[in-house]
């Protein structure tokens, strides 16, 4: 259902001849000027897709961003993401869709969000390939430049609001309901 909705939104943006597609999950709270900042970074680095690195609920010091190859599969600690990390040159970069902007004038516009199963080459375990990482794999195969950043502040809602500050600080925000959230923590 999640990827079906993403695809419907992306299809509508394409049909409207939009220049950009912005995806913000309902449990993500970006800072005030995040959209303008994302657009600036996307254009400055000539990226097809830019994702803001977010903390993971279960591991708040780790980002939802990872490096994945036949020999390496590890999530990146938020403190390792400095400035803008792009692919290329960082092969195997896996970004997330939680707070993401796509330039619809690049081949990224042809992405179809989906999920899949795979056998991990490192562990041999069968796992689910999330819509985020499947998209990253497609972008890499298509040689579409993409990247991630922590230069834009964002919070991922869990029991606490998890910040993407370099050390994944847990920040309690009063009034966490979606209609009453504030970045003034």
**Across the 185 residues of the chain, what is the mean pLDDT of every consecutive 10-residue run?**
90 97 94 95 95 78 71 69 78 88 96 84 79 88 91 82 58 31 35
* 114, 3 Cβ separation under 8 angstroms: yes
DSSP 8-state class, residue 129 = E
CB 62 within 8 A of CB 69: no
pTM score over 0.85:
no
Q: CA 13 to CA 17: how far, in whole Å?
A: 6
Note whether 144 and 107 are within 8 A (CB).
yes
Give me the sign of the Cα torsion angle 104, 23, 179, 63: negative
Measured in whole angstroms, the distance separating CA 84 from the mean position of its chain's CA atoms is 13
First to last CA, the chain: 33
What domains does the chain contain, in order, with CATH numbers?
Answer: 2-171 (3.90.550.40)
């Amino acid at each position: 259902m999640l990827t079906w909705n993403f695809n419907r939104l992306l299809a509508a943006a394409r049909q409207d001849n939009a220049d950009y597609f912005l995806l913000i999950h309902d449990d993500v709270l970006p800072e005030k000027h995040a959209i303008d900042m994302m657009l600036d970074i996307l254009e400055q680095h000539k990226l097809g897709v830019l994702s803001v690195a977010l903390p993971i609920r279960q591991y708040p010091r780790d980002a939802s961003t990872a490096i994945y190859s036949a020999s390496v599969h590890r999530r990146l600690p938020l403190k390792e993401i400095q400035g803008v990390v792009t692919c290329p040159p960082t092969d195997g970069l896996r970004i997330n869709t939680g707070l993401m902007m796509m330039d619809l004038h690049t081949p990224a516009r042809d992405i179809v969000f989906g999920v899949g199963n795979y056998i991990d080459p490192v562990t041999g375990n069968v796992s689910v390939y999330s819509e985020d990482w499947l998209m990253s794999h497609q972008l890499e195969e298509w040689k579409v430049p993409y990247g991630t950043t922590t230069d834009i502040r964002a919070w991922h809602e869990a029991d606490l609001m998890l910040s993407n500050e370099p050390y994944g600080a847990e920040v309690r925000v009063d009034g966490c309901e979606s209609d009453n959230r504030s970045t003034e923590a």
